[in-house]
Amino acid sequence: MTADALIFTWFSVFTNLELLLRSCVERDPGQAEDAAIRKVSETLHRTIVEPCLSGRMATQLAAEASFEEVIEVVYLLSHPFTRRSYSFCLTDAQVARLDRETALLMGVAHDHASLRCREPASSESVLSEKLDPEHTLALVEAASRLRRLDGEAGGLYYYCCLLTKECAQYVAAELDAVVRPKGVEKGPFLRSLQLEPQVGRVAAPLDRCDAPTGIRDAPTKPDDVWCLTRCGHALVKAAAHGALTRSEEAMRLKACDAIVRTLSLSPNYDLTPRDVVRCCVAFLDSRTTPFGEESTGETSLRLLLILSRLTLDTVDDRAALCQLFTCLCRLNPPVPSEREVERQHEWRRLRGLVMRQLFDTLTVAELNELNKEQLKSDESMWQVLLTNGTYDGVVPLDFWYECCGFYFPALTEGPAPCSPATAASLVYLRARMQQESIKRRMPLPLNEKSISYVADCLVAMSHGRLAKADLIASPDAWPIAVAELDLENAVLQPLLSDITSYLLRQQRHTAAIKIIKF
């Protein structure tokens, strides 16, 4: 076996290392997992690590190897499995020598990347070839690991972003070529567009596409889109481990935009829901959002379009779904120009579709777990974000019932421990839901269950000064309680009016029954 074939074999194995370890254990059931890990580590040490310890690997690769082969070696040496295996076979001095060799190899990768990104003199030059998505992902992950270890990547981060952008643009062009309209559009097609009700405007789709023309060969490899999805997530996460220069930040934003466009053009069977959700959450995070000043809202619209195509209840990463929920609650809609008002309506519609899936998929207990693990202040709680954030769409009444049932488990036993901020959020959310239902002329039903939960919230906000029985018994006690708690009466007024009207009707109905019985 040649050296480059050996390196590529190990590279292919490490992309599915978990399957290798599992097969080692299954092949010999009596072999423990630790023994399988040690066996793989010793084999890797003999074939890859020992040649690197000689100190000549970087020199040989710089003189003879291709960019892809350098990436494969750097990926292997920076892999967490390799670094953990050092404890089995190496001394501290050997580990330090390997770290120096890895740094030299990263320098070689940097030189290759700068040459690959430089404008070639001839279109037939080997430098004009695009780096494939698999090796692009390997380079990005290796640079991210090095950046996470010492906060530096030797200037390689910029080239990682640039190579990712070019790779995503190439894949997007291949996908776009499949559905792009061929030739000049004929008159009947244009007339059919004009006959559709456009209300005085011309249709402006994101991507114009041709009509379906039967089965076609796939223009990309099965894992190209998956690799680019992982690249986007890795680039954003690597940015958190060190300060970015202005040029690095600008190039990262361009790479993120290119990845989003590629994902929006990809067929559904190429989208891995879990990885796409993780990538979108990283993009939507307020500290690393790809929507800069130059963005016209197209990237944001494409992200929501991608998410709306997923079946979110199949995603097993519940923490990522919870993060997506909070991100969408605080995501600002793009500021439209006069010609893009319809796109803003479409933006709101798509966000509503995604949020509806999240309402149906997530439980209140899962969202509450996110509060405990990641959010530190009351202003960042998901209940506050849902009530006071930018999301102004429909909130299902069953979801509000689930929220109240989580904090007030038994209506007859009184309120469970619930913070005043959470209780206030639930009250304001129910009031907002009532206002929006009136605007849509589809009023929400107000029953004893809703009134009891609202009363529980007011009791929790008052730290026990109010009594739930007094609120249920007297319609006049509600305005007094709202004034005592210093709540925004204008926001709660429609809900309070409906509650008092309902309680008065119940009192009159009870009195009438007593008279009839008498």
pTM assigned to the model: 0.85
C-beta pairs of 179-186 under 8 Å, 24+ apart in sequence:
179/207, 179/209, 179/210, 179/265, 180/208, 180/209, 180/210, 181/208, 181/209, 181/210, 182/210
Residue with more model confidence, 290 or 181: 181
- Low-confidence winner among 178-182, 331-335, 449-453 (lowest mean pLDDT): 178-182
pLDDT tens string 312-324: 999 999 999 999 9
CB atoms under 10 Å from CB of 241, counted, come to 17
Question: In whole angstroms, what separates CA 385 from the centre of its chain?
Answer: 17
Range from 73-77, 224-228, 342-346 that averages highest in pLDDT: 224-228
Q: In this structure, which amino acid lies at residue 252?
A: R
Local structure of residue 125 (DSSP, 8 states): S
> In which band, very low, low, confident or very high, does the pLDDT at 161 lie, cut at 50, 70 and 90?
very high
* Strand extents, DSSP E, 331-389: none
pLDDT tens string 367-401: 988 777 665 555 568 888 899 888 988 899 999 99
Mean per-residue pLDDT for 334-352?
Answer: 80
How far is 111 from 315, CA to CA, in rounded Å? 40
Cβ neighbourhood burial of 491 (10 Å; 0-12, 13-18, 19+): middle
pLDDT tens string 199-216: 555 556 677 676 666 666
Residue with more model confidence, 154 or 455: 455
Give the model's pLDDT for residue 193.
46
Give the model's pLDDT for residue 401.
92
Is 418:368 a contact under the CB 8 Å cutoff? no
| Both structure tokens of 59 | 């020199």
Give the model's pLDDT for residue 227.
94
Q: Which of 79, 170, 75 is nearest to 132 (CA)?
A: 170
Cβ neighbourhood burial of 89 (10 Å; 0-12, 13-18, 19+): middle
Give the model's pLDDT for residue 125.
47
Is 175:266 a contact under the CB 8 Å cutoff? yes
Q: Which of 84, 75, 80 is nearest to 137 (CA)?
A: 75
Give the model's pLDDT for residue 48.
83
Distances (CA, A) of 45 to 49, 76, 88, 168: 5, 11, 10, 35
Distances (CA, A) of 266 to 232, 262, 280, 454: 15, 6, 15, 46
